[in-house]
Chain A
Amino acid sequence: MAHRTDRELVDAARGGEAEAFGAIVRRHQKRIFRLTSHLLRSAAEAEDVTQETFVRAYGALARFDGRSEPFTWIYRIAVNLSLNAIRARKTTRNSAPPDDPKVEGLLFESRGAGTTPADATQDRELALALIDGLGELSETLRTTLILVGVDGLSHAEAGKILGCPEGTVAWRVHEARRKLRAYLAGRGHEEDEA
């Protein structure tokens, strides 16, 4: 099967070609899973939400108007489902303890090749502190920062997913980072000038 774009696959799936939507799933499920993992901080919940995202997207194919990319459209569904799951489980803002199995399971080890064990430990503590700090942020700032800072989306892409202007995304990222910087400083992670 020749490489088809997301739009072509969506059009094919809307035409009744089930394999076309399967192709979309295989193409984007990893990114959706990583996104939902960072949002939910639980691999098991992230897997469920990922599956639910594609199922819901398939059920809403008829309402895909084509004004945005299918990837953006699916991302939006994944964010909505993740936020619904967070609200449903009534997550408190309290940060998870470092030995939280969800967090431990989420974060195996960093890929810092060539780093000393001490540096690896320090990076791991820093990443865990960031996860805790993200838990202290508001839903808006946390979600935006994960999309941009962790998932690597551009401001424009994040803006399309979240439904806000690019400038607003930038402001949210700045604001989230400002708060996280203060949070990390309070946890003993000082700014490294080197």
Chain B
Amino acid sequence: MSDEQGASKLVVRAEALLAQAELREPDYDALAKRIEGALATAGQSDDSLLLPPLPESVDDGRLSPAETAEPKLDAVAASATPAPEPASEREGASLADLARAALARRESKDRVSIAKESLAIATQQRTPAAPATAKALPTIETDDTRDRKRSTIPPARRSRAAFDTRGPWIGVGVAAIGLAAGFGLYLAGNRKTEIIQVPVAANTPNAAPPVTTQTTAESAPTAKTLTPDMLPRERGAPAPMLTPDALARESASSKAPASVADARPVAPGERPAGPAAVAGGATATTGAGAAKPERIVLEEEHAAGDAGPARPSKPPAATGLRPAELNANGGIADKPSTGAAQAAVGAVLGAARSCIAGQPQGSSATLVFGSSGEVTSVSVSGPAEGTPAAACIQSALKKARVQPFAASNFSLGVTIRPP
């Protein structure tokens, strides 16, 4: 046996012992006579007995003739697939089984040819560094062992090939992200309304209505949650575009004390409070004629605890809106703060409500403040419109005052209910 060299000496010795063992052999002469006697009755033998009993299967490895002559068991054990037991024992030697085995062998040969072609392609495209990788492959490289390998491409080339295939996908991913971002901006551009609900600090005893501040900012690119500390630029509002008059007023009143009912002094370097600055920014844009005037609607309620389902009974603390009459530069605020508007309207709201005492329904009024802080006009709509009550309401609401602001005007709406 030529493959004893390098083989497990123990196993080979055991094989030799088994081969040399004296078996309990029969009487061969008697056996031969029995066989000769049985030949007379011998019929036609089954064809399956003449077929190869254990042909090559897909579970078999194969060694090259050189390795067959001089086997290297350690190398074979390292390179061969670990213990490929036959998937299923052949049950019976029917022709169907043999045909399936033959088909399996044929498919195996097909895979071998495919592996050869792949190896040839990989060899042609191999970089100069590739031969070193090829040398690292097991020395025993037979058709079947190649067939067992998952890939014949060297690792270095596999990684480069993977990078080459990732490139287009990265491009597609970037394009998809860009499209998604553009679509999001498009949707955000169509959303123009931001709603903030703040309480009105009404001075009347039975009126502590929350205020729904509705800001219509058509120029706002996105709809976002507003926080008090956000600068106009951060809120997406355009930079204030002050008219020459507003600029003159701003410069004239830049050092004037800015105080409203609940205003606090703001240091020159301190960031201004948000809502006023935001409103100012929007109003400045309005003054430039770029957008419609901002409108604040004040809705009156009889009691703070009498809030409807859609109205919060408590002011949202998260907004934390507070008046701030100075902008970031320490100058005049662009618009009156919400608190100042609440205080101003609340101070005269009682008188306005008394104008419609006895009427079943309330009316609405729109106040327009001038940059000086005075009410320049009041329009009344609703049941009181065209009635003497409207003049009464106008007279009462015109007494409202806010601090001067930089914007050209500032309008707000208020619902007046009968007392």
Contact = CB atoms under 8 A, between A and B. Distances in A.
B162 interface: no
B35 interface: yes
Contact of A22 (B32, B43, B60): B32
B386 interface: no
B256 interface: no
Contacts of B45: 56-57, 59-60, 63, 77
Of A21, A140, A169, A171, which is in contact with the most chain B CB atoms at under 10 Å from its CB? A171
Contacts of A181: 8, 10-11
A22 B18 CA distance: 29
Contact of A170 (B34, B46, B63): B63
Interface residues of A, number: 84
Interface residues of B, number: 70
B67 to A, nearest CB: 7
Interface in A164-191: 164-175, 177-181, 184, 189-191
Interface string A33-73: 11001100001000100110011111110010000000001
Contacts of B35: 22, 25, 29, 50-51, 54-55
Main SS of the interface on chain A? helix
Interface in B26-85: 26, 28, 31-32, 34-36, 38-39, 42-57, 59-65, 67-68, 71, 73, 76-77, 80, 83-85
B10 A168 contact: no
A151 interface: yes
Given A63-B50, A108-B24, A174-B80, A126 B14 contact: yes
Given A76-B53, A192-B9, A55 B42 contact: yes
Nearest to B36: A22
B164 interface: no
B218 to A, nearest CB: 81
Contact of A144 (B1, B54, B64, B67): B54
Contacts of A56: 42, 45-46, 49
Given A76-B52, A143-B53, A181-B11, A165 B22 contact: no
Given A148-B1, A152-B1, A191-B8, A50 B31 contact: yes
28 contacts: A29-B28, A33-B26, A43-B25, A55-B39, A56-B46, A77-B49, A107-B18, A108-B22, A126-B13, A127-B21, A129-B14, A130-B11, A130-B14, A130-B17, A138-B86, A138-B89, A139-B86, A140-B86, A148-B3, A161-B52, A163-B55, A164-B55, A167-B142, A171-B144, A174-B73, A174-B76, A184-B14, A191-B8
Smallest CB-CB A-B distances: 3 pairs:
A163-B52, A130-B14, A60-B45
Interface of A: 18, 21-22, 25-26, 29-30, 33-34, 37-38, 43, 47, 50-51, 54-60, 63, 73, 76-77, 79-81, 83-84, 87, 105-112, 123-124, 126-127, 129-131, 138-140, 143-145, 148-152, 155, 161-175, 177-181, 184, 189-192
